[in-house]
Amino acid sequence: MSFNKNNPNPMGKIMGYLKQISTEMGGSEQNRRGQGDEERLYRSRGPKYARVPSRPTLSTSTTSTSLATSCGSQGTLAPNYATIPENTTESSSEDEQDSFENTRRHFQQLRQISLGNEFKYKMEMEIKDENLRNSIPFVKQLSTDSNKVKTDHTINGDVMSHRHTTQRLFLWTQILATFAVSMGSLIVGFSSGYTSPALTNINGTLNITTEEKSWVGGLMPLAALVGGVSGGPLIEYLGRRMAITGTAIPFFVGWMLIANAYNVPMVLVGRALSGICVGIVSLAFPVYLGEVLQPEVRGALGLLPTAFGNTGILLAYFVGSYLDWSKLAFFGAALPVPFFLLMLLTPETPCWYVTKGRVEDARKALQWLRGKNINVDKEMRDLTRLQAESNLMGGSVFRQLFSNRFRPAVLISLGLMIFQQFSGINAVIFYAETIFQMSGSSIDKNLSSIIIGLVNFISTFIATALIDRLGRKILLYISSTAMIITLIILGSYCYLKVTGVEWIATYGWLPLACLVIYVLGFSIGFGPIPWLMLGEILPSKIRSTAAALATGLNWTCAFIVTKTFHSISEAIHMHGTLWMFAVICLIGLFFVIFFVPETRGKSLEEIELKLTGGSRRIRNINSVKSAQNGC
């Protein structure tokens, strides 16, 4: 069958007409097409790429390259290979069919190469834009001029869109989520400070012994250890928001049991319920905030719960000076109500939704947090990519906890918790009056305790203002150095006092000054930052389990330090105990220098890739896919 328009066969007529049209259009493509901006862009990329026709042409005399590009018909990029000379000699119908089939197969090969170049071009443009965005000063990144939505680079279309490199930082929803969580931290602080004013007047109503008083104060940390260990599975299966919101009910029940108690067991049960809730939220708060806050504000807003916790302690002291233990418990029962209502307004974290395969819910939550006019496509791609990579690992979470990939992040979290508690902060805070008495300070011990409490409260806001300017590691350096120097000086003061050096009595103000600087140094560094980094450096796949492990270790160390302080101080004296804490702080300083990464301004995905080596793994996966596609 010959292909010409006079052939009575319908297929021959169609192919004949197409051949005539192609012949008439041949050689006039560059004359018909204008030289637009996009065509100049392609030409500036070098002779490897050429603008291809946008109108479809098809004939047996069409070269393989023009056939491949014309069938695309959308202006795609194709390699500018040398064209096959046109054969104008008449041939038989079988030869023309074979030629057409060979041309079609050649087109498919060229189309694959073209798609591979298109993919590489997109990746190059994304990398360039990412580098440009990172090179913009921090102030410009917070620019409010970004109502325009980011658009992706297009290659198949006729318009090359420009991708904006800055977006408006929408804060109101993130502040609301942080404030809701901080209300729970206020309850935690109130629970910790309740025993100090309550135990002074509880004997007027209940017949309570000294041993029972010690259990009222010490039961909450032990219950918090149980809550911290059990909180990991809860935030993993129920979700971060649901687990946090659910603690409002047992908080309320526990305080009501204490307020209406007519015997000591009711008080103990109420303290146990409150302690379990304290353990759950102490690990859930940093995980939740770490997953919902943007890197630009994660440091400042992430420390807000710590500030509210210190506020809760002062609130318990202040209100307890006017109310007895029962009415103070009623006041504590009112605090979970606004906490519960505020948490109902907040969303679940996008990371948790992605781990459960609920991508659309994750996008809605992320859009609510970032603002309705903000493009969240890139952040969603990062979340889904990391989750897909975690799913490829497979296996049990507990088995992966100390695998080679996740071990650095887990050990850093555990190390920060250990050095936080073994710096001696709980011993100093709980036994401040005893330390002043043993050191022979001339300042009233009650006034000294109040001053230390105020410094602990104010210093948290100082850390909030500095953490996103100086970074986590710088504050940890300052914190460690301040604690080392003050503990050495205070230990030396106690040693000289014991040995009978008379002139040291003229420096009676020194213990208070040392403890104030010690508490100030702790509160701007090793106090809040280990909890903040708990939600930053743990990979998403093991975040819940590892956070539960770190929280349980923290409460265990706190119990050990508090319980053994008196025994250690009797064995090696007060100066020896303080010097021991100074040595531990020195070891902690070297730990921070050599092992703790800086996380300021980095997304959770970037931190995870750095600690797990995921970037190399992604490059290997991409190279394997490229080899399989022939790109």
One of 3.30.930.10, 1.50.10.10, 1.20.1250.20, 3.40.47.10 is the CATH number of 169-346, namely: 1.20.1250.20
- Report residue 123's pLDDT band, with 50, 70 and 90 as the boundaries: low
Copy the structure tokens of residue 286. 């940093």
Question: 603, 295 in Cβ contact below 8 A?
Answer: yes
pLDDT score recorded for residue 332: 94
Percent of the chain at pLDDT > 90 equals 25
Sequence length of the chain is 631
Question: 395-613 belongs to which homologous superfamily?
Answer: MFS general substrate transporter like domains (1.20.1250.20)
List pLDDT tens digits, range 566-575.
788 888 988 8
Q: Is the pLDDT of residue 303 over 80?
A: yes
- For 49, phi and psi rounded to 5 degrees? -115, 145
Global confidence as pTM: 0.62
Q: In one letter, which amino acid is 39?
A: E
With helix as H, strand as E and coil as C, how does 101-126 read? HHHHHHHHHHHHHHHHHHHHHHHHHH
Taking CA atoms, 492 is separated from 497, 498, 567, 576, 579, in Å, by 8, 10, 20, 9, 8
Is 387:350 a contact under the CB 8 Å cutoff?
no
- The pLDDT tens digits for 428-451 are 766 666 666 665 666 666 676 677
Q: Do domains 169-346 and 395-613 have the same CATH topology?
A: yes
Task: Pick left, alpha or beta for residue 216 (phi over 0 → left; psi -120 to 50 → alpha; otherwise beta).
Answer: alpha
pLDDT at position 251: 95
- pLDDT at position 49 is 44
Per-residue model confidence (pLDDT) at position 141: 38
Do 476 and 592 meet the contact criterion of CB atoms below 8 Å apart? yes
Give the pLDDT confidence of 158-190 residue by residue, as tens digits: 333 333 333 556 688 999 999 999 999 999 989
Looking at the DSSP bridge assignments, the partners of residue 50 are 78
Number of H helices and number of E strands within the chain? 30, 2
Q: Could you state, in order of their start, the residue ranges of all structural domains in the chain? A: 169-346, 395-613
233-237, 241-245, 499-503, 557-561, range with greatest mean pLDDT = 241-245
For position 65, what pLDDT does the model report?
44
Provide the pLDDT for residue 7.
57
Contact predicate 59/22, CB 8 Å: yes
Mean pLDDT for the stretch of residues 120-140? 49
Residue 479's pLDDT band, with cuts at 50, 70 and 90, is very high
> Of the ranges 20-29, 65-74, 140-149, 491-500, which is most confident?
491-500
- Lowest-confidence segment of 62-71, 126-135, 598-607, 609-618 by average pLDDT: 62-71
pLDDT at 399: 75
Q: What is the mean pLDDT of the chain?
A: 75
The DSSP secondary-structure symbol of 136 reads S
Confidence band of 109 (pLDDT split at 50, 70, 90): low
Strand partners, 78: 50
